[in-house]
Structure 1
């Protein structure tokens, strides 16, 4: 009868030993504290291919831009200049330079669409972009019109189709508009004529073509309808003696045997094309809003 208490004592002793072992094992395991990894957001650096969009000004169209908006325009010009630097940097890869070119072209049109951008003179705007653009402004019936021409580098685009021409103007309410007229073409634009036609304002760009030498003279025409320049077909032109004239849609080319020169007369809305060696000369008139060859 005394065996039962002895067995109970033995069982209790074994259980106590097991509990002590478990406690010791838990105490020997390391305790891990919860840790938090902080991720610091790195602000991306602006590259030469990045242009800050010029926000719309609070001023009404036609009014002088505020100082704050002028500073934004200046910043946009600095970034465009940086892109030109990247485009011309032969130490950079072709991909980098091509990306900078794409950003530059988009940035130019964005800048020209900004209120206040027409306040810059032609000379000032050209100087701020390292004389790498041609800028010319004319006024017709109190409205300002401006062309901006950019010629891409031959090593990136080849020697032929590497020219862009933008037009900038104000509507009747003084709002600024801009549009690309020539996109990667052979036309080197250096002057233009703007006048009224029966169906709207008429613009004619002129300059030289890079397709061959001596460089032919070109004329390309558009009409402004609902604040968009639409190509305006050029009628078939008589072939003057000693000249080769080709007309395709809204563009005509003129070529003689030697080097040619172009002169625009804003007073009488004419373009004079001459070839000095042989004394050849033809005149294009736009007085009626149509392209006409005047008889010598």
Structure 2
């Protein structure tokens, strides 16, 4: 019977999740509590991706791994840096015109931050039900009545029908900031007032001009990639977890209470997972 050897690859990621496999090393409950307490402490400010606390967490994890014999897998640095989309933000210069009349951003319309930058001149079409779109609407700008929360879903369906942009309104006043999350939609979406919607619908087939300016703001973070054993072996076991969290919350953060800005400690997402993964390592 041949002896099989393997190296243990340890990957702790910011943003990206890697499946977990196992190899045993004894660590006490006190060590687990120590790691969780450090990562979830208020001073770490929720370990938002790209923040200085995110990097401090990575260095701490690398230090803990080094103590039990892990070494960098790539070169001499256990931290492998990468660029990612931090958030999307509506820039300056977005426009909306009906004929020769320019509407006011912030008063008459708002660009959804998940929209792409685009410039469109097209006729409007009012769509009352997504599942019963009238005739050929390819290239047109759709007007729909719906809430902002349903826009990503509706945009996908309308894009498949050939719609070039979406104007949506509801009984509520237009609201929202210039900054959004990291997700994007495939065509521009603008929230308009009920008054502007009524004006547009009073002249069917009217033409509008839309210009959206949206910037993708980049950040830099790092993964912790280390190994135990020799990389020359043909078999490796990959152990991984993500160590970042959502910082102090707020709009676009993924917080369950996006209107509140306070430290989201992330003890269970995912400081505890990191501690358990280090114990496995």
TM-score scaled by structure 1? 0.19
TM-score scaled by structure 2? 0.20
- Please tell me whether Structure 1 or Structure 2 has the larger radius of gyration of its CA atoms: 1
